[in-house]
């Protein structure tokens, strides 16, 4: 029993250490030695739990993708008007200067060249876009959003604003470009008040 707990604990530490290193250094910069050091794990423990670096990285990428999807669903799947849910998604707390732990992997040539490593990234971004499109479609149907809006295109714009905002923030060393992009998109999506002429 104790051995099983220790094994589970070591496996968990390895995955979490790999997630942090992938976010910070990318796949190439994440060496097995660095993972073991960050996880506080003994030499050889990686190969006890995983087939190698790629297998461990895949587990870490899947975990990061699951968390990103869950965080998006937590705000998009709630109650309330469509605009409010989109606003909550765009304004949710993020470590903007570190970038997106999943989105940053799209700039890693080793990940992009490997269909299996790339798959969790594609799947979660598609899932978030799809969920946003559902929210936007519902908002249009209920009259909460107006204008010639295509739900899929607006959903893609929301995701692109977030991911592009991360890049601009990291490039300038300031969250200001991210915040400006989010505010600009929200202003474009904000429901317009309708006024009726008085008799």
Query: pLDDT of 37-92, one tens digit each?
Result: 999 988 788 878 888 899 999 999 999 999 999 999 999 998 899 999 999 999 99
Write the pLDDT tens digit of every residue in 22-31: 999 999 999 9
Instruction: Provide the token pair at 86.
Output: 């989109």
Write the pLDDT tens digit of every residue in 90-133: 999 999 999 999 999 998 999 999 999 999 999 999 999 999 99
More confident residue, 169 or 194: 169
The rounded distance, in Å, linking the Cα atoms of 28 and 111 is 9
What CATH number is given for 2-189 in this structure?
Answer: 1.10.357.10
| Domain residue ranges of the chain, discontinuous segments joined by + | 2-189
Residue with tokens 């993708």: 65
Q: Who's near 11: CB < 8 A, 6+ residues apart? A: 49, 50
Output the pLDDT for position 8.
52
Is the pLDDT confidence value at 193 over 80? Answer: no
Output the pLDDT for position 42.
84
More confident residue, 118 or 1: 118
The rounded distance, in Å, linking the Cα atoms of 31 and 25 is 10
3-state secondary structure 132-144: HHHHHHHHHHCCC
Is the pLDDT confidence value at 195 over 50? Answer: no
Pick from 175, 12, 198: which is nearest to 94 by CA? Answer: 175
Output the pLDDT for position 66.
97
Instruction: Provide the token pair at 85.
Output: 């849910």
Between CA 90 and CA 100, with CA 95 as vertex, the angle to 5 degrees is: 75
The pTM of the full predicted model, rounded to 2 decimals, is 0.86
Let me know: does 164 contact 181? Beta carbons within 8 Å. Answer: yes
């Amino acid at each position: 029993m104790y051995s099983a707990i220790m094994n589970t604990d070591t496996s968990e530490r390895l995955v979490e250490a790999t997630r942090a290193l992938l976010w910070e250094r990318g796949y190439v910069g994440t060496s097995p030695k660095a993972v073991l050091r960050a996880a506080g794990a003994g030499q050889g423990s990686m190969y006890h739990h995983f087939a190698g670096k790629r297998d461990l990285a895949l587990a870490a990428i899947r975990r990061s993708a699951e968390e990103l999807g869950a965080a998006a669903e937590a705000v998009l799947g709630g109650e309330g008007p469509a605009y409010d849910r989109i606003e909550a998604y765009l304004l949710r707390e993020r470590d903007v200067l570190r970038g997106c732990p999943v989105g940053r992997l799209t700039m890693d040539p080793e990940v992009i060249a490997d269909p299996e490593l790339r798959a969790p990234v594609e799947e979660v971004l598609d899932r978030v876009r799809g969920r946003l499109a559902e929210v936007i479609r519902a908002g249009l149907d209920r009259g909460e959003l107006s204008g010639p809006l295509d739900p899929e295109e607006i959903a893609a714009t929301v995701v692109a604003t977030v991911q592009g905002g991360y890049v601009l923030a990291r490039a300038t060393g300031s969250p200001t470009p991210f915040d400006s992009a989010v505010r600009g998109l929200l202003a474009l999506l904000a429901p317009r008040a309708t006024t009726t002429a008085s008799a």
